[in-house]
Amino acid sequence: MGWIPENWDVGRISDYTSKIGSGSTPRGGSQIYVSSGVPFIRSQNVLNNSLLLDTDSLIPRGIHEMMKNTFVKPGDVLLNITGASIGRSCVVPKDFVEGNVNQHVCIVRTVKEKLNNHFLQIFLSSYSGQKSILTMQVGGNREGLNHSGVGSIKIPIPSLKEQKTIAQCLSTWDTAITKLGNLIKVKKKRKKGLMQQLLTGKKRLPGFDGEWEEVSLSNIAKRVTEKKYGAK
């Protein structure tokens, strides 16, 4: 694990969890999806640090009840264990009601008195966690992670109080980064609109007036060349 404080422990994820397991796809696949039903969580719904639910993959309640081993609960850590998105993880929100996962998503349910779920998710998304996931992959193309592999991943364990404090600190940073990203998107959109107005003359800057003249580029440029294909 590298250098860690002396009063921290090191253990396997399975030592601090009550459930490690994935689901399955019901017979019929996407053909059984309904317009009103129970969320069926797939790997594309598990993003980095967030769960994106949609209405494109809802299953009938009857099928949901038949798949009790794949029930998802608020606070569960979801980890993608196959495909290109392997290693992506998130914590199921507190306001989540019910749902199931398919075979590409692993449910990791922590023992709350031992391991904070947000701390676990942060570790899984860290450099050390991602390196462990890469090492534990199985199969010829090494694009799969089984339940025993997930459980055998080693994790540093500070006190529960310190786990929560670390998770809260990094969560604050995530929130700030998200807000900054949204602000940047808004600013870019506003700039694009302003460019359109300024470059068409619909909006004029202070101190400028009069009509614009439309000309061909060849009439105002000294030279216009076209690069031929393959030319250096």
What secondary structure, in 3-state letters, does 133-163 show? HHHHCECCCCCECCHHHHHCCEEEECCHHHH
**Do the bridges between strand 77-80 and strand 105-110 make them parallel or antiparallel, or are there none, so unpaired?**
antiparallel
Q: Output the six-digit token pair for 44.
A: 């594309």
pLDDT at position 229? 61
DSSP E strand stretches across 99-222: 100-101, 105-110, 154-157
Q: What local confidence, expressed as pLDDT, does residue 23 receive?
A: 86
Q: Are residues 108 and 89 in the same domain?
A: yes
Residues 50 and 165 in one domain: no
Is 149 found in the same domain as 168?
Answer: no
Indicate whether 154 and 182 sit together in one domain: no
Identify the pLDDT of residue 1: 67
Task: Report the number of distinct structural domains present in the chain.
Answer: 2
- Residue 53, domain extent: 9-158
Q: What is the pTM of this model?
A: 0.78
Q: Are residues 28 and 78 in the same domain?
A: yes
* Single-letter code of the amino acid located at 207: G
* Residue 39 belongs to some domain of the structure: yes
* Residue keyed to tokens 């998304």: 125
Can you give the pLDDT at residue 232? Answer: 53
Nearest CA to 100 out of 79, 70, 69, 140 is that of: 70
In angstroms, the CA 189 to CA 183 distance is 10
Report which secondary-structure segment, H or E, holds 21: strand 17-22
Residues ≥6 apart with Cβ < 8 Å to 172: none
Same domain, 126 and 192: no
- Tell me the two tokens of residue 167: 């998770």
The per-residue pLDDT for 31 is 80
State which residues of the chain have pLDDT below 70.
Answer: 1, 139-142, 227-232
Q: Answer yes or no: is 171 within a domain.
A: yes
pLDDT given for residue 116 in this prediction: 96
194 shares a domain with 85: no
